[in-house]
Every structure is written in C-alpha cells, then in structure tokens.
Amino acid sequence: CMTLESVNAIHRPLLVYMIVYGMKILGGLFLRIIGFRRCVTKTGLVAWYRPAKDTKSPLLPLLFFHGIAPGGLMLYLPMVLYGFATEKDRPVFLFENRSISCALDFVPLTEDQTVEGVVMTLDRFALVNSQLSLVGHSFGSCPIT
C-alpha cells in the first residue's frame, strides 16, 4: 500500500534551517574556544581535532562519529566533552556527517570517500598507523563498521 498511496509532503519552514545553522555556528565557535581545529579533506569530510596536551600520553586517539541530529555534532558536545573525552592528554577527532545533520547544502559522501577522508585526516596529524578508540552513536556506528 505504501507505494500506491499518495504522498503528502510536509516541508520544514526556513526558520527551522536557520535555527539549525545558528546552532552549528555557535557550536563551531565553542569548539574553537576550547582548542579544536576544523579540518576539511579533499573528499569533503569535516573533522574537528583537539591535539593531546602531552604527546607522549599512552591514551589512544578518540574518533567520534555522530548520529542523526539537527545541527549534527553540536547536540552531542555535552556527551562527548563531559563524558568520554575528558582527558586533555587524549587526541580527539569529531567527524561531521552533513547528510544527516538537517543541512541544506550537502553532498553525501560515499563509503569510500568517508574512509579516505578519515585516513587523510589521521595522516595529516601523523596518526594513520596508530591504534584508535572508535566511538559512534546511532547512525555514527555505520562509518565505524
């Protein structure tokens, strides 16, 4: 029946996207203030990186992939920063997935582009051959797999 019934599309008002964009800007400013840097790879993958205070620390670099949420990564910041990324001696990478973030201007990345983007990001910070700690919430577990 689902393919035969007429579709009643409900569009979100522009205000919803403006609020989401405002959240994203505020979240980006907050991340910059607390020491993160924004990196964009050639494939278009966006990551936020916070280096470890002590480069000799035995803590594994943490890679976090968010789930479906308006504003993407920004709604996860309390959980990430006050939950499992509290150690200042751990390098932290927060990866954005714009196609599940309620954004208007996105180009979905393929599986290969995502993997290539992660490798490029780790290579940029000389961590490509190190052991990693991977964390994903909801849809964020798909890129990890």
**Each residue of 67-84: pLDDT tens digit?**
998 888 999 999 998 998
Q: Which pLDDT score is estimated for 2?
A: 66
Is it the case that residue 89 has pLDDT exceeding 80?
yes
What is the mean predicted confidence (pLDDT) over 95-124? 90
Greatest mean pLDDT range, 6-15, 97-106, 123-132 = 123-132
pLDDT at residue 32, as a whole number = 96
pLDDT tens digits, one per residue of 8-66: 777 778 888 889 899 999 999 999 999 999 999 999 999 999 999 988 889 999 999 99
pTM to 2 decimal places: 0.87
pLDDT bracket for residue 1 (50, 70, 90):
low
Position 10 scores a pLDDT of: 76
State the pLDDT at residue 55: 83
Query: Helix or strand or coil: residue 134?
Result: strand
Q: Concatenated DSSP letters for 38-70?
A: EEE-TT--EEEEE--SSTT--PPPEEEE--S-T
- Asked if residue 46 lies in contact with residue 96, where contact means CB atoms within 8 angstroms, the answer is yes
Contacts of 144 (CB under 8 A, 6+ apart): 63, 65, 134, 135, 136
pLDDT of residue 37: 96
